[in-house]
Amino acid sequence: MDRDVLIKQYFEMGLKYQDIQNMLEERHNICIGLRHLRRLMRAQGLARRNYDDLRQVVDFIHSQLQESGQQHGYRIMHARCQAYGLNVRVNDVRLILKYMDPVGSSLRSARRLQRRQYYAPGPNFIWHLDGYDKMKPFGICVSGCICGFSRNVIWLNAFHTNNDPRVIGGYYLEAVEELGGSPVLLRGDYGTENVRVRDFQIFLRRNDEMYQRSYIEGTSTANQRIECWWGYLRREHMNYWIQTFSHIQDTGDFSGDFVDKNILRFCFLSLIQNELDIAKDIWNNHHIRPTRNSVAPSGRPALMYNFSNLWNARDYLCPVATEDIDTCKESATFRSSKPCDDDIYELCTSFLAEYGIAPPKDAAGAHNLYQEIRQHVRSLL
């Protein structure tokens, strides 16, 4: 990729000049000084103080407050503005939110969070995986995994189940294949849904003398890193969708049966996955502030994960042979491109084609489509 394109990409991610320089050198073998970097950025018109028109920012924040953005504090909303391509001061976002969402701002500012002590020596030393079942009554289950050292989210996927061990194993194998290795330790909860992940982890680490201890089981409440992150996900992203589904249920348009769950997945699953992708990107590129826990690093999760040497730590990723991954794949299941049951999917796609309806792009469109398809499908039963 062209050097100037990379500089612009990292600038728009909100990285500091020093971080951009480190990324270029470590990841792309491009060595330039900070003064030269600043000259290149000036030539592209990249400057932190070239702020966008506040009217655009207000319009964007107003649109976000209509959906999951109503859960955001000003720091996450600022990160969302940056992800959208808006250059704006953090303080401006804070003041806009205080004016546009005074109740939410006062509630968030009154909250104080106390954290437990936690230690991991470096990235990929331990991964924490867990399922998020708050939307399970509506037929949508979320699975996530986070690096204990960097807090970088490894995967965050929505599907119709969190109970099938072959599916959870598929998530794990996709991550291992993409990264080229497995963690030293994998921490999961008690339960049959993690048996394939446990077997895959032990199999891939079988040449290590401590391989039998490479998978750790425990209670969900003690799985600290991922349980803490679920709180962030609910607070900043998922609460809006849970309330949307609860409203559909309260109005009598969702009975919880097989048909309704599959129609809801057809209409909403891609939007939920898009929200999860946004949540993952914002989190991995936001700045974690220092805490009283002196052994917990602070910084951007993506940088701490990829450039651990800057935090005097090393990467513990354990290389894995491709043939071993292929062997494990025979016992795993990977997500289908169809969001729901095959028969319901055919009925829904036929309905869209017959009436020339495009797939929904927002929650309101998905809600309307859900009601129309539900009425159509129920009339056929």
Length of the chain (residues): 381
Q: Which residues are CB-neighbours of 229 under 8 A, at least 6 positions away?
A: 144, 146, 151, 153, 283
Percentage of residues of the chain with pLDDT beyond 90: 54
Residue 238's pLDDT is what?
Answer: 93
Residue 4's pLDDT is what?
Answer: 85
Res 75 pLDDT > 80: yes
Residue 109's pLDDT is what?
Answer: 67
Burial 75-85 (b: 16+ CB within 10 A, else e): bbbbbbbbeee
Distance CA 6, CA 24 (A): 8
Residue of higher predicted confidence among 69 and 271: 271
Q: How far is Cα of residue 159 from the mean position of the Cα atoms in its chain?
A: 14
User: Whose structure tokens read 């559909």?
Assistant: 248
Quickly list H helices, the chain. Answer: 3-12, 17-28, 34-43, 54-65, 74-84, 90-100, 102-109, 165-179, 195-204, 224-233, 239-250, 258-285, 301-306, 322-329, 342-355, 363-380
Res 8 pLDDT > 60: yes
Domain boundaries, the chain: 3-43, 54-109, 126-239+289-329
Query: Which CATH number applies to 126-239+289-329?
Result: 3.30.420
DSSP state of 287: P
Give the tens place of pLDDT for each residue, 158-170: 999 989 999 999 9
Residue 373's pLDDT is what?
Answer: 95
Residue 115's pLDDT is what?
Answer: 45
Distance CA 81, CA 184 (A): 36
Could you tell me if 272 and 241 are in contact, meaning their C-beta atoms sit under 8 angstroms apart? yes
The residue among 176, 147, 187 whose CA lies nearest residue 324 is 176
Residue 111's pLDDT is what?
Answer: 56
Distance CA 355, CA 353 (A): 6
Distance CA 179, CA 127 (A): 13
Mean pLDDT of 82-96: 85
